[in-house]
Amino acid sequence: MRGIAGILRRDGGPVPQKWGRILEQSLLLGGTMTYRFEDTVPIAHGNLHILLLSGSCQGSCQGSCQGSDPKAVDGEVEGECAYARWNEETLELELGRTGTGQKSLYWLDLSKVGDGLLFSTNPLPLLVIARELELLNDTLHEGVRRYLRDGYVLEGGGLLAPLYSMPIQHNRAFTQSAMTTLQCDFSTTPAEDVQTLVHILGTPFANPDLLSTLQQYRYAKDIGCNLVDGLVIKQSTHFLDRVIRCKKEDKQLQNHRRAARSIELGAVARYVGIDLTISAQSERIQPLTFPLAAWLRSSHSQLGQLAGDTLHLPNVFGTLPVDQNECIRKLNAHQSGEKNNALELFALLTLALWSQLVDA
């Protein structure tokens, strides 16, 4: 987990050193090290000051900001990314937030005490500085209470005023088939989609790619697109696999898998209301990439909350021969980071939801 923070002051006024220390200390709470970029640029009235900070867990920082661009920081928290980009030629700071979760990027406007802003993925250090600048208001206590309880405060509203939260930019991804290229927006939560798919299919399923299929078919409906999806399983490139004829049992298994996928795709297409052609000669539409493990690890994400609440329900699997205590142990091990049980937990979640549907 990585957070970001920073300061931009462009009115020539001084930047107290303790502001940087406060922001850096907040990042160290979630990791063991920070990356720092700092620069001072002479302007008409004094100096412009820019500070960019990124926190990370040592040894596990993937896609770190310390790579190609020293004037950019990125922070990933439970499936979404907050970023800051400094353009030293135009002296402009770009802040943004992309993903599918609920964590936010908060910023404090310094217009009442100068010109500039402070930003952080954690609002609490910004509130400390806002209190020092006498910028707080009476609604703050409720905002802080919600942040400490939930780990976030939704964008919009004034619960953390004078802090603002950066609105999210929806994830977009391109997918391709033999005939169609789609650009897909997320319009519902993963938790809602899992429950929808259980109702559509009338059966549990272990394939999280169906979440992607549902989103892609919805987008095809929105733009009035006739869609082609394929059943072809990618052939092995291994020499022996190509020259030795596959066993009869293997061929039957492939046929069963293709038939099952055809049924799944058809059911999703009928629910969404699109014209779908299923072709055994076409490649499958490339699924979107979901941070499934991160969603299930976080009790604040809607999918993580659904999994936790569902698997802890009494007798959630009914008469099925499933050890509920073992399922909960798998969930706890995943949430603690001891082991990645994302795919097993996803399958168990759909099984539990299906069992509830049958019992109802």
DSSP output for 205-236: ---THHHHHHHHHHHHHHTT--EEEEEEPPPP
- My answer on whether 142 and 8 are in the same domain is yes
The pairing of beta strand 4-9 with beta strand 46-56? antiparallel
What pLDDT score does 137 carry?
A: 65
| CATH number, residue 66 | 3.60.20
- Domain endpoint, select from 169, 187, 215: 169
Instruction: Name the nearest CA neighbour of 41 among 61, 15, 18, 17.
Output: 15
What pLDDT score does 256 carry?
A: 77
- Report in angstroms the alpha-carbon separations of 229 from 21, 203, 330, 331: 53, 21, 34, 34
Contact 121, 80 (CB under 8 A): no
- Report in angstroms the alpha-carbon separations of 215 from 124, 190, 273: 36, 10, 13
- Domain endpoint, select from 137, 169, 201: 169
Q: How far apart are CA 351 and CA 183, in angstroms?
A: 31
Radius of gyration for the alpha carbons in the chain, expressed in angstroms and rounded: 25
What pLDDT score does 112 carry?
A: 82
Domain coverage including residue 215: 172-283
Q: How far apart are CA 64 and CA 197, in angstroms?
A: 36
Q: How many domains does the chain have?
A: 3
Contact 184, 163 (CB under 8 A): no
What pLDDT score does 121 carry?
A: 86
3 state SS of 89: coil
- My answer on whether 116 and 182 are in the same domain is no
What pLDDT score does 342 carry?
A: 93
The one-letter amino acid at 95: L
Q: How far apart are CA 266 and CA 239, in angstroms?
A: 35
Specify which residues 109 forms β-bridges with. 117
- My answer on whether 92 and 152 are in the same domain is yes
- My answer on whether 73 and 156 are in the same domain is yes
What pLDDT score does 69 carry?
A: 57
- Kind and range of the H or E run holding 120: strand 116-120
Contact 345, 331 (CB under 8 A): yes
Read off φ and ψ for residue 353, nearest 5 degrees.
-65, -40
Q: ∠ CA(41), CA(43), CA(49), 5° rounding?
A: 40
What pLDDT score does 309 carry?
A: 92
- My answer on whether 142 and 270 are in the same domain is no
Q: Judge if pTM exceeds 0.75.
A: no
Helix segments in the chain, DSSP class H: 17-28, 123-132, 140-150, 190-201, 209-222, 239-243, 248-272, 292-297, 302-311, 324-335, 342-359
Q: How far apart are CA 37 and CA 54, in angstroms?
A: 9
Counting as low any pLDDT under 70, the low residues of the chain are: 1, 29-33, 56-80, 99-103, 137-143, 147-159, 168-188, 232-250, 360
Record the tokens describing residue 311, joined without a space.
């698997």
- My answer on whether 321 and 299 are in the same domain is yes
- My answer on whether 260 and 344 are in the same domain is no
Contact 111, 8 (CB under 8 A): no
- My answer on whether 161 and 79 are in the same domain is yes
- Domain endpoint, select from 169, 192, 222: 169
Q: How far apart are CA 324 and CA 73, in angstroms?
A: 42
What pLDDT score does 250 carry?
A: 67
- My answer on whether 157 and 71 are in the same domain is yes
What pLDDT score does 54 carry?
A: 86
- My answer on whether 165 and 177 are in the same domain is no
Q: How far apart are CA 272 and CA 218, in angstroms?
A: 6
- My answer on whether 91 and 224 are in the same domain is no
What pLDDT score does 30 carry?
A: 55
Specify which residues 209 forms β-bridges with. none
Record the tokens describing residue 169, joined without a space.
């930019």
Q: ∠ CA(165), CA(166), CA(167), 5° rounding?
A: 115
Q: How far apart are CA 287 and CA 273, in angstroms?
A: 20
Spell 227-254 as b/e; 16+ CB within 10 A means b.
bbbbbeeeeeeeeeeeeeeeeeeeeeee
3 state SS of 350: helix
3 state SS of 329: helix
- My answer on whether 33 and 180 are in the same domain is no
